[in-house]
Amino acid sequence: MNAPTTHPPRQLRLRLKPADSVRGSVDGAWWPRSRDLATELPDIAQALDTRLPRLERVGYRIADWDAAPDRKIAVDGRSVHLEGFTTWPPGVVRFSCPSGTLTLAVLGPDTDSDAAHETMMRAAERTNTQSAETLIASAAAVDGHRTGHAPPAWDTHEKPAPIG
């Protein structure tokens, strides 16, 4: 019998403002490795546990993720309710527990690493009040400047509705 293969834990790509920061549109930024929310949630929920103990709800835009996960997911033995919306702003995920909420700007997994790092650092600045939309647009602009084309952003994941 072969020994089980173990993989090192993935480094979570997350930056949060300090807890006593200016309240703005977002509390930081997250750069998931995929568009599979059910796969990504356990790692980020565990990382947020010190700021949001007993995570209960996660709100997100359905079109930002490849497949809508079940309405509940088990995280560290607890049930977390997932609330997907069609009218939620692109690139925003909100985590809630009885003691508060955290709202994160979410960069697309295909974002250039330098652009993502720069944007995440800006989102986590103590005095940052930029919206997720502004932060994500700046990441796309930085990436576009470096590569000559913009990466797919969260809101381009879906096809536009026909006019007429």
Show me where the domains of the chain are located: 14-146
Beta strand pairing call for 57-61 and 78-85:
parallel
Q: What is the spatial distance between Cα 13 and Cα 116, in angstroms, rounded to a whole number?
A: 9
Under the banding of pLDDT at 50, 70 and 90, the label for residue 143 is: low
Which among 78, 71, 36 has a CA at the least distance from the CA of 55? 78
Q: Has residue 158 got a pLDDT over 60?
A: no
Look-up of token digits 């490849």: 66
Percent of the chain at pLDDT exceeding 90: 57
For 88-92, 103-107, 137-141, which range has the lowest pLDDT when averaged over its residues? 137-141
pLDDT at 142: 67
If we measure between CA atoms, which residue out of 65, 64, 98 comes closest to residue 81? 98
- Would you say residue 160 has pLDDT above 60? no
